[in-house]
Chain A
């Protein structure tokens, strides 16, 4: 959603028109609440839930604070935001671990929701975070190559997978898996089941049978973040027929607003325990209600953005680079490193695209460096001597010839690279002159500062008349994140198949 469509803008629009009357009436506030309801609907919050939600906040909204506020729009948003956060439930809910192992976890959900990928992610996560020894169980016997998929993931992660040849039924498979786990001394069973429709009696029955036999400690409903209105019906049916103890929202790295999260949480009362944020096995994260609330309201997920950018970009390095740029001692090695870093970030446009409105503008930016270009540039620079990289001015014509030959390019290419580099070096010196706010490293710091140090505020700090931040600092420690994983959170384009890239 573009910034200009955002709820805050629309609310401001609504209330601006009315403020000429002096005081707001209840009807005026209702007009604003209508916008809120529309925003929730556009975010895929279930129709009934959106209606109930708006009704429930109406009292607070028509209370004195809003009617007399100088910026009622922002007051309304604050009320909405706070209520959403409360409804979305606690963050950081732990998985139920059995007192007496093995812990049995069952993954359920519609087709394509991401169960198999999440199964693998969960195994990795639990192994890392609490030293669990999981056994993955391939209980999807319907989808072609579903078993192969889980086996492949297991192999990739070094996690054992239990499967049986075609012909076995899921009930037998899970039964035998338990025995195997005990044989191997594994203390956790994560059962990947087939995707199924909540209205498919036979398939739902199968789940019930597995549940009855295995008595799982945790039944996780995997829900795609882009699910629309039906999320409610699906969640309700799974909860009622099979029973669920937790929800995992997947594909949160997309730009779906994720209203389904509110819907499933509301209708089942079950906590959202994790979110999936990518295709790689490490892309499983804790659920933060405040971030999802922001996202549902179309205010973007700035915190996640900052973290992702930080995890790829070493601030210390950035500062050093900055200093070099300023002094004009920025050299080709720095240049190469910087290009590699940009490449590693998995495309800065993906990250910045999380800021509503900015994403579109950045699509055409030249921050996206083609993999081939990078290889080419790397080859040329690596054909240089250390001295040449540190001081490109010494590169004479004969040296250029040598470099061209050594890198399999031609002198023209080398010339072009050197010219571009020199231009860039000159520009950086000018830009970083006295203004230390420039440079890639400081984009993050800039954003933090803009928000007055409270990184939870959505883009464009909101303050009341006395300058107090409208959104209070978090009490659940959501700002205190452990060190974010540093291996490619975003899947790169041609970098997707990283293991096949030739080492230089």
Chain B
């Protein structure tokens, strides 16, 4: 939709963009709601029933209630530390505000959980917002068929936004990249992908299939080649194509393998040489079904990589992604997106309040 509006030679009218965007966002929101519904039916649905269910709502607040709640929070993978903290804060507020009914306590619980998620949260600054400002002047059309001069290359390099996607094996990096590419394209960006997983069988092909589906270029080499070399190529290519964003796929790596983490460092060096300050974003993908190890992962990756965000994937399952709470609380890196399925449209920007509401109802 927006892609058409942001064709290089036209200047879109702000109202047009607003309207299209609003519509798009609403559709996305509905889809996400649907997906999270399933999650809600699990533990969080039980929490709802505990507090606001027909009979329960009229009952007084008891010690048993807190115990039941504790159990439910544990089963959502919040982890011992976060559960204790939430319980502590909840009790305190309950006492301080002298709450009497369960629904009241419920709302307080949602408040507390939202606050946990808000630690380190930053709304994503959309680059296309600049295009919607009144008086926006699109850049002079460039004949992209001509080769670039060194000056032009440097200028284009400054404008390229590079996103590095990392995580342990099997979390959904490649699928998330496809979703992200789709998401950005729908907001008018020209995206290029780098097939940086040169290890796993058919990892390159997997990304290439997505590339075809999206109509997006994928820079790749042979399986077994050096990921740094692929990144180098991709940065060059993306700049030459005057792309807005380059998303780099990497091989899954367990965070306790020192030399694989070392490999990541090298990728940083290579990217930074061609595109100043690249990668500008490093997204860690966490599988929503992951337990407490998700926190260990986040901490370990944060040490090696300059993490700028976390994506919680596979929230369409029954796992509540409670580890998101623990990560928010402990790692100080915001959650940027959530993944809710295997289709390229199954991605949403993360928003603490919306997330809690969607899960709790």
CB contact list, B199-233 vs A, under 8 A? 199-203, 205-206, 208-210, 223-226
A226, B294: Cβ atoms closer than 8 Å: yes
B258, A363: Cβ atoms closer than 8 Å: yes
With a CB–CB cut-off of 8 A, which chain B residues contact A229? Answer: 74-77, 291, 319, 322
A89 to B75, CA, bound (A): 24
Q: Which of A145, A149, A230, A496 has the most CB of B within 10 A?
A: A230
With a CB–CB cut-off of 8 A, which chain B residues contact A43? Answer: 292
A152 to B198, CA, bound (A): 13
The answer, among B38, B170, B318, for a CB contact under 8 Å with A112, is B170
Q: 17 extra interchain contacts, Cβ-Cβ under 8 A, other than A44-B293, A368-B259?
A: A42-B79, A42-B292, A112-B169, A112-B171, A145-B202, A198-B318, A199-B318, A228-B289, A228-B292, A229-B291, A229-B322, A253-B257, A279-B169, A279-B199, A350-B258, A496-B199, A497-B198
Q: Interface residue tally of chain B, by bracket?
A: 35 or more
Can you list 22 A-B pairs with a CB-CB distance of less than 8 A?
Answer: A43-B292, A47-B74, A113-B170, A144-B206, A145-B206, A148-B202, A148-B205, A150-B201, A224-B290, A227-B289, A228-B77, A228-B289, A228-B290, A229-B322, A230-B320, A257-B292, A279-B169, A347-B258, A368-B258, A491-B199, A493-B258, A497-B226
Residue B11, interface by CB 8 Å: no
Residue A359, interface by CB 8 Å: yes
Nearest-CB residue, chain A, relative to B72: A47
**B contact face: mostly helix, strand, loop, or mixed:** loop
A251, B169: Cβ atoms closer than 8 Å: yes
Residue A171, interface by CB 8 Å: no
Q: Chain B's nearest CB lies how many Å from the CB of A14?
A: 15
CB contact under 8 A between A254 and B254, given known A226-B291, A368-B262: yes
A150 to B205, CA, bound (A): 12
CB contact under 8 A between A491 and B202, given known A42-B292, A112-B171, A114-B169: no
Residue A111, interface by CB 8 Å: yes
A494, B259: Cβ atoms closer than 8 Å: yes
With a CB–CB cut-off of 8 A, which chain B residues contact A480? Answer: none
The answer, among A38, A198, A359, A491, for a CB contact under 8 Å with B260, is A491
A346, B259: Cβ atoms closer than 8 Å: yes
B262, A359: Cβ atoms closer than 8 Å: no
Q: Chain B's nearest CB lies how many Å from the CB of A243?
A: 20
Nearest-CB residue, chain B, relative to A253: B254
Interface string of B296-318 (1 = CB under 8 A from A): 11000000000000000010111
A80 to B224, CA, bound (A): 46
Residue A292, interface by CB 8 Å: no
CB contact under 8 A between A112 and B316, given known A44-B293, A254-B168: no
With a CB–CB cut-off of 8 A, which chain A residues contact B122? Answer: none
Q: Chain A's nearest CB lies how many Å from the CB of B214?
A: 11
Q: Chain B's nearest CB lies how many Å from the CB of A424?
A: 22
Nearest-CB residue, chain B, relative to A41: B80
With a CB–CB cut-off of 8 A, which chain A residues contact B171? Answer: 112
B263, A493: Cβ atoms closer than 8 Å: yes
Residue B287, interface by CB 8 Å: yes
Residue A499, interface by CB 8 Å: yes
A143 to B200, CA, bound (A): 15
CB contact list, B43-88 vs A, under 8 A? 71, 74-77, 79-80
A230, B318: Cβ atoms closer than 8 Å: yes
Q: Chain A's nearest CB lies how many Å from the CB of B244?
A: 24
Q: Chain A's nearest CB lies how many Å from the CB of B56?
A: 20
Residue A174, interface by CB 8 Å: no
Q: Chain A's nearest CB lies how many Å from the CB of B182?
A: 14
With a CB–CB cut-off of 8 A, which chain B residues contact A224? Answer: 170, 287, 289-290
Interface string of A34-72 (1 = CB under 8 A from B): 000010011110111000000000000000000000000
The answer, among B198, B257, B291, for a CB contact under 8 Å with A44, is B291
Nearest-CB residue, chain A, relative to B206: A145
Residue A153, interface by CB 8 Å: yes
Residue A233, interface by CB 8 Å: yes
Residue B109, interface by CB 8 Å: no
Residue A8, interface by CB 8 Å: no
Q: Which of A46, A149, A499 has the most CB of B within 10 A?
A: A149
With a CB–CB cut-off of 8 A, which chain A residues contact B270? Answer: none
With a CB–CB cut-off of 8 A, which chain B residues contact A152? Answer: 201-202, 223
Q: Chain A's nearest CB lies how many Å from the CB of B216?
A: 14
The answer, among B224, B251, B258, B289, for a CB contact under 8 Å with A349, is B258
CB contact list, A126-174 vs B, under 8 A? 142-146, 148-153, 156
Residue B256, interface by CB 8 Å: yes
Q: Chain B's nearest CB lies how many Å from the CB of A298?
A: 11
Residue B323, interface by CB 8 Å: yes
A197 to B314, CA, bound (A): 9
A27 to B203, CA, bound (A): 55
B206, A353: Cβ atoms closer than 8 Å: no
Residue A294, interface by CB 8 Å: no
Interface string of A196-224 (1 = CB under 8 A from B): 01110000000000000000000000001
With a CB–CB cut-off of 8 A, which chain A residues contact B168? Answer: 226, 251, 254
With a CB–CB cut-off of 8 A, which chain A residues contact B74? Answer: 41, 47, 229
Residue B342, interface by CB 8 Å: yes
A259 to B293, CA, bound (A): 11
Residue A110, interface by CB 8 Å: yes
Residue A255, interface by CB 8 Å: yes
A306 to B260, CA, bound (A): 22
CB contact under 8 A between A230 and B289, given known A112-B170, A144-B210, A497-B225: yes
Residue B279, interface by CB 8 Å: no
B259, A112: Cβ atoms closer than 8 Å: no
A464 to B343, CA, bound (A): 58
